[in-house]
């Protein structure tokens, strides 16, 4: 953000609350871009001992990740994760547990991750959002070193499956 959304003047660096932030230097305006992260719900989707990884539209062909989506106004993260699973892969999900929250600086997001189960391995992709999906057996899935990969690592660890983080896009990993 280079210009103030309130008065239109150029923003400049200002040290506030222990960080450098972009702010309007016009005393009458006083706008500060606090860069609050956007909440995103993520699902480790499990069925029959396998985890579903999805490839979003626009991603390289080797990148797969968890089902994710923005938490909408008036919606709790648990509701968002169930809605996103239904929208993106066409399945009714049941939340089993909260996994954790993870910062994703690159996109200014706060990932709120859950373990969900679905009743079948048969999915129906929303081709406007998801290009491909693949089920990977829980003992073969490899968490990646960014974003939702940390949630997948923690979920696997809670099941007694310690995994090192791998580079994005390797055989049984995602983004």
Q: Domain residue spans in the chain?
A: 1-35, 38-158
**Which pLDDT score, from 0 to 100, does residue 106 have?**
85
DSSP state of 153: H
Is 114 a residue whose pLDDT tops 80?
Answer: yes
- Give the three-class secondary structure for 149: helix
* 131-155 pLDDT, tens digit each: 999 999 999 999 999 889 999 999 9
Give 6-42 pLDDT, tens digit per residue: 999 999 999 999 999 999 999 999 999 998 999 999 9
pTM for the structure as a whole: 0.87
Residues 6+ apart with CB under 8 A from 155: 44, 99, 113, 115
Cβ within 8 Å of residue 66, ≥6 positions away: 42, 43, 44, 45, 53, 54, 113, 148, 151, 152, 174
pLDDT band at 172 (very low <50, low <70, confident <90, very high): low
Taking every pair of Cα atoms in the chain, the longest distance, rounded to a whole number of angstroms, is 60
Q: Side by side, which strands form the sheet with 32-33?
A: 11-16, 19-24, 32-33
Determine the Cα–Cα distance for residues 80 and 124; give it in Å rounded to an integer.
Answer: 18
- Please give the pLDDT value at position 171: 58
**Is pLDDT of 58 > 90?**
yes
Average pLDDT over residues 101-130: 96
The answer to whether 86 touches 122, Cβ cutoff 8 Å, is no
Q: Any idea which architecture 38-158 has in CATH?
A: Alpha-Beta Complex (3.90)
DSSP 74: T
pLDDT(169) > 90:
no
End-to-end Cα distance, the chain: 27
């Amino acid at each position: 953000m280079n210009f103030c959304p309130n008065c239109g003047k150029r923003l400049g660096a200002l040290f506030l609350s222990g960080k450098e932030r972009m702010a309007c230097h016009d005393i009458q305006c006083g706008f500060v871009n606090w860069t609050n992260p956007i909440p995103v719900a993520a699902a480790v989707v499990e069925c029959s001992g396998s985890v579903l990884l999805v490839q979003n539209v626009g991603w390289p062909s080797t990148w797969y990740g968890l089902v994710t989506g923005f938490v909408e106004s008036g919606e709790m993260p648990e509701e968002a994760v169930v809605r996103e699973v239904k929208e993106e892969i066409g399945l009714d999900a049941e939340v089993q547990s909260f996994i954790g929250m993870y910062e994703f600086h690159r996109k200014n997001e706060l990932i709120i991750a859950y373990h969900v189960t679905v009743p079948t391995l048969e999915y129906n992709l929303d081709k406007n959002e998801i290009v491909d999906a693949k089920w990977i057996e829980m003992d073969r899935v490899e968490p990646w070193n960014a974003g939702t990969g940390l949630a997948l690592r923690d979920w696997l660890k809670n099941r007694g499956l310690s995994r090192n983080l791998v580079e994005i896009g390797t055989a049984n990993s995602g983004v």
